[in-house]
Amino acid sequence: MTNNTFLGKYRGPWTLLKKEMLRFWRVAFQTVAAPVITALLYLLIFSHVLEGHVQVYDGVPYTAFLIPGLIMMSVLQNAFANSSSSLIQSKVMGNLVFVLLTPLTHFEFFAAFLCAAIIRGLVVGLCIYLGAMWFVDLHVVHPWLIVAFALLGSAVMGTFGIIAGIWADRFDQMAAFQNFIIMPLSFLSGVFYSIHSLPPFWQKVSHLNPFFYMIDGFRYGFFGKGDISPVISLAIVGASFIVLALITLKMLKSGYKLRA
């Protein structure tokens, strides 16, 4: 029965978080190892082809420039994948009913799925960072900016994943979400290049891409250099999270697509 200890009070959402973490950990080969290998392959190929030919910031080799972008891209994609795939699977399999029958509040539901998404994103990001250390010696100028952007960025994408998971009814709708929204936004956000290298029009377009702020701010933490001020990026990413979180909570509270 519930009791007054911290765990007793929050055992419900903690259990849901634990289940969500175990869910991806049970298939870690697919959910952690695969994205790490993919990112390291990108790193291997792009650094081999472009190292020495391209320099984005003074004194920063291309491989070093590339690593924070790849880490953040993977953090974001995996945070999204965790909440969205868990929800769509539970909906299609029908086992989401086990959670819907419980006294968990919509806020607890949100918090558990969000935290699991953040943790998966951070685990993948950390593994890529450790792997990338073989390639280049990375210095860190502002570690707290790195932590802040990793947390907020994965929170934005974890929340976006919850929205997508609630909205989608079928796997192909989810795949469309991933292939037509998440992938283009993450590839066109300045992972592989500085947006200053783009023509002015595409620079402006890039400023509409939320991924750009997450990646630029995260990279600023490593080099102390970026395309725009990290304070602006942090404000934009933070505001995005608040807006998306409010939308998600409203959807969950109303029971949109989950309760008839």
Partner 1 sequence: MTPAIQINGIHKNFGNLHALNGIDLTIAQGEFFALLGPNGAGKSTLISILAGLISPTAGNISVMGFDVVNQYQQARQLLGVVPQELVFDPFFNVREMLCFQAGYFGRGPENDAWVDEILEGLGLTDKANTNMRKLSGGMKRRALIAQALAHKPPVIVLDEPTAGVDVELRQMLWEFIKKLNREGHTIILTTHYLEEAEALCSRVGMMKQGEIVALDSTANLLNKFAGKKLRLTLGDVSLPANIQALLRGQERGIYTFALSDMAQIEFVLSALRTANIKVQDMQLSEADLEDVFLSLVGNSAVGKSS
C-alpha distances in Å from residue 132, one per residue of 64, 212, 216: 9, 21, 19
Find the binder of partner 1 among 4, 58, 59, 103 (CB under 8 A): 103
- Contact between 215 and 73 under an 8 Å Cβ cutoff? The reply is yes
Rounded to an integer, what distance in angstroms lies between the CA atom of residue 65 and that of residue 61?
Answer: 6
3-state secondary structure 109-159: HHHHHHHHHHHHHHHHHHHHHHHHCCCCCCCCCCHHHHHHHHHHHHHHHHH
Residue 59 structure tokens: 């004194």
For partner 1, the closer CB: 16 or 155? 16
- Interface stretch with partner 1, choices 21-29, 170-178, 203-211, 243-251 (CB under 8 A): 21-29
Measured from the CB atom, the residue of 33 and 45 that comes closer to partner 1 is 33
- Residue 74 and residue 68: Cα distance in Å, rounded? 10
At residue 198, φ and ψ (nearest 5 deg) are -90, 160
Under rule CB under 8 A, residue 102 binds partner 1: yes
6 binds partner 1 (CB under 8 A): no
Does the footprint of partner 1 cover residue 94 (CB under 8 A)?
yes
Q: According to CB under 8 A, which one of 30, 95, 179, 197 is a site residue for partner 1?
A: 95
Which of 53-61, 96-104, 114-122, 161-169 is the region at the interface with partner 1 (rule: CB under 8 A)?
96-104
Residues at the interface with partner 1 (CB under 8 A): 1-2, 7-8, 11-12, 14-16, 18-19, 22-23, 26-27, 90, 93-95, 97-105, 255, 259-260
